[in-house]
Amino acid sequence: MQKEFERIDLRIRYDKKRIACGWQIKDYRYRKIKTLYGDVSFLRTRYWNKFTKEVKVLVDQEIPIEKYQRIIPNLKIEILNRVGRGNRYCDIVDCLRNSKISEQTISNIVKKFNISQDTIEDLKGNKIDVSKKEYIYIETDDTFSNFVKDNKKTNFRIRIATIHTGARKGIHNRKYLENKKIDYMLIEKGKGISTLDYSKRIKAFINNHYRNYENKQLIILGDNATWINNLAYELGGFYVLDKYHLLKKLSNVFPYNNRNRFTSEKWKKPFLYIKTSILKGLSYNYVLDALNEVFLWLESSNEKEKLREFIKFISFIKRNSCAIKNYYKKFDSSSHTEGQVSSFVKQTLGYGKKIYGFKTFSNLLKIKQIHANGYDICELLEYEIETLQINNLDYIYKEVIEYKTIGLLWKDKKSDISRKGSWAKIKQPGFKRV
């Protein structure tokens, strides 16, 4: 790499276009950059323009490194890819020991990740063909967290939607979601989200990532939030209640995992009986029969307080009867919403009392979304670098036309005297006539 950069610098030094544009050699400076394999130091030539009186290092315009950049793009891309995979800053530092970077360096790279959210939403990669799939699953949920914005602690809502075509067993009999794509929204708490607008956003997202999906049945999975039920209505799909939240409410009524041995043994049978009727039952009526039996048992046992709690649970079951009836249809009713929220948001937040800045965390979610949806960060960054190079080179070669009639201006640093004319002789180290 050092030889390549010095070869480019040598080619510019003997380029006739550079001489015609008025760029003359001023002096030589060393520059140090960080790579995956360690620091690289190379010699580069600084030039002084006799027409515009500005000083530039022309080799910086041809190599993909900005003026004050110390990290080359391939190291930056490697760091962003590791952040997208969910690696912690300290783990990245340990894996890239030769590059001698710090956690603050990684944080600065994340903060400067300036690809807009609109650009990410408009990305259209290779669309997945779902013609052989019967259903498209949409798992959505909200989570809340505090971030620092404008030097104030602000609470934000993070709405996540995971779209996939079903789960199947992979390595070590672990389930994974096929053709998974992730979309999210990050807004301040208190600002409403129109269900109609959100349904249009989901449709546009599916259109950007899948093809041959027109006749597929949509399955919407989530907790008992009202907006999820309304979303299923707007999308024309089946709403399925997350079994995790249902069993959590059941465990609050019958604390089966209580530390108190007597309490645990007492409520073990009704908890397992209702749980089995829900998960392995044949119909919604079968669940109601099981609830009725437990209700009669509590009534005969004279458990008045527990009976009141159980009546509330029964009313919850009846309110979500449509969502529970969908457990017993042909499609997969297993929800992975909490796991997706945990891996996408809570793993990024980490544990402890630390709090992220809004911009930093927003960029972290963007990077994770790009990685999860299968886009290449390298292609996005290279496009920006190439555009910047072309603009700078065009600007350099236009200067000779604008300043062609202006005489030369030399300045001696020792005597601080400016001299105007043709090729004035200056006894100063670093200045050299080309």
CATH assignment at residue 227: 3.30.420
342 and 234 co-located in one domain: yes
Last residue of a domain, one of 56, 90, 113: 113
> 190 in a domain, yes or no?
yes
> 328 in a domain, yes or no?
no
133 and 232 co-located in one domain: yes
344 and 231 co-located in one domain: yes
What Å distances lie between residue 103 and 110, 139, 240, CA to CA?
A: 11, 34, 42
Residue span of the structural domain in which 109 resides: 73-113
131 and 210 co-located in one domain: yes
> 296 in a domain, yes or no?
no
Q: What is the pTM of this model?
A: 0.76
Q: 250-275 pLDDT, tens per residue?
A: 999 988 776 677 777 888 888 899 99
177 and 209 co-located in one domain: yes
52 and 140 co-located in one domain: no
26 and 57 co-located in one domain: yes
> 174 in a domain, yes or no?
yes
Q: 183-210 pLDDT, tens per residue?
A: 999 999 888 889 999 999 999 999 989 9
> 255 in a domain, yes or no?
no
221 and 172 co-located in one domain: yes
Structure tokens at 128: 């997945």
> 158 in a domain, yes or no?
yes
Half-sphere exposure of 263 (CA within 13 A, CB side): 11
390 and 367 co-located in one domain: no
Q: 219-262 pLDDT, tens per residue?
A: 999 988 999 999 999 999 999 999 988 999 999 998 877 667 77
The count of domains in the chain is: 3
23 and 150 co-located in one domain: no
What pLDDT score was predicted for residue 126?
77
